[in-house]
Amino acid sequence: MTRETVQDRSQSCVYLGEYTGETVNCPTCRGNVREKVRKCGVFGECTVGKRVEMRPCCATCDKYESQDMRTVTWTYGVTTVPERIDGLLDQTLDSLRAAGFDQPRLFIDGASHVTAEAAAARFGLEVTTRNLQIRAYGNWILALYELFIREPVMNRYAIFQDDILVYKNLRQYLDRCPFPEKWYWNLYTVRQNQSLAGRDGRPDKGWYASNQCGRGALGLVFDRKGVVELLKHQHMVERPMDSSERKFQNLDGAVSESMKKSGYTEYVHSPSLVQHVGTVSAIGNKHRSSQYAEAPEWRGPEFDALDLLKEQQDVRTAAGATVGGADGS
């Protein structure tokens, strides 16, 4: 096997992470050759072309999997309002960019076309605007429908709100997580759901079933079938007919109720993959006084989500079986 072939193989491994900054001397190479040490989702660290100092190596690793065989396609957007464009939205987009979600479509509720064009130029993103405000529920459900209409054959559909932080390389981590049928992900784990980790057969880390009450819609992820089920569900379709203010709010509860009735289960993650920032939502709710304000288990915006793979591998190794891994089994 030539060195070029080894390199091509290593670049496409789904578990291969970023360069750690460390190099190790290659004792069998001519001259002063040093191999870069990379992060590995299975072993924690590895080298690419040569096995050095007992580290696993992509060239001979039996855990190697081709990225081409596990390509996960995404479409995603961010819902916002004009008041956030010069504030929290900037921070949210920077965080999403570091996470691998660098090209969201912006859905701006209540913005003029001039404001929308300025936002598109400023952020370099595609923008959809509701020239007359339609409120939070309307903007969110239309955003999901538009994502589906524009890209009807994606594997993952995600909508983020404009007042969040996420981990670096989150998208790469999510690409490595199985997505069983009848699941959808809530990337934001509130205190009530965090308290369920490690209880009633749930794992301490990784994915597990929430309390199914629908707490927080800061980052929701669906597969294609889930999107179709949600968009066609009677509860979602008839929600604008509600005579109360609920038709504009309680988006998380509406999604949860519809998905439950369709036989889907909401899964959350420990630690939370999204953190909530800001004090007042786009619909006027004061989050800091709410019991759902912040995720209690949050590693900070500089945390690398790929490190979660190593943590879960350590758990499986210690238990001698698959327990609480990325698949939540």
pLDDT in tens, 38-76: 888 778 888 887 788 788 888 788 777 655 556 899 999
- Looking at residue 280, what is its pLDDT? 58
- 60 & 97 share domain: no
- 134 & 250 share domain: yes
Residue 192, domain extent: 72-314
Query: First and final CA of the chain: distance in angstroms?
Result: 37
Q: What angle do CA 205, 211, 213 make, to 5 degrees?
A: 135
Does the residue 12 lie in any domain?
yes
- Looking at residue 289, what is its pLDDT? 41
Q: Which two tokens stand for residue 258?
A: 């519809």
CA distance 15 to 36: 16
CA distance 181 to 162: 28
18: Cβ contacts below 8 Å, ≥ 6 apart = 38, 39, 169, 304, 306
- Looking at residue 28, what is its pLDDT? 80
Longest dimension (CA), the chain: 78
Q: What is the CATH number of the domain that holds 275?
A: 3.90.550.10
- 205 & 112 share domain: yes
Query: Which one, of 216, 230, 218, 217, lies nearest residue 264 by Cα?
Result: 230
- Looking at residue 12, what is its pLDDT? 54
Q: At what angle do helices 224-232 and 135-150 cross, to 10 degrees?
A: 130
Number of structural domains (the chain) is 2
Does the residue 326 lie in any domain?
no
| Residue owning tokens 């998208």 | 171
The two beta strands, 265-270 and 183-186, are parallel
Hey, which residues does 109 pair with through a beta bridge?
130
- 208 & 141 share domain: yes
Please identify, among 36, 68, 100, the residue that sits at the C-terminal boundary of a domain. Answer: 68
Question: Which letter does DSSP use for residue 42 in this model?
Answer: T
Does the residue 324 lie in any domain?
no
Please identify, among 68, 91, 108, the residue that sits at the C-terminal boundary of a domain. Answer: 68
- Looking at residue 18, what is its pLDDT? 76
- Looking at residue 164, what is its pLDDT? 96
- 185 & 56 share domain: no
- 58 & 94 share domain: no
Does the residue 63 lie in any domain?
yes
- 132 & 19 share domain: no
Point out the residues of the chain with pLDDT beneath 50. Answer: 1-8, 10-11, 283-285, 287-291, 320-325, 328-329
Q: Examine residue 271 and say whether the peptide bond preceding it is cis (omega within 30 degrees of 0).
A: yes
- 218 & 194 share domain: yes
- 51 & 76 share domain: no
- 24 & 170 share domain: no
Does the residue 325 lie in any domain?
no
- 24 & 101 share domain: no
- Looking at residue 14, what is its pLDDT? 65
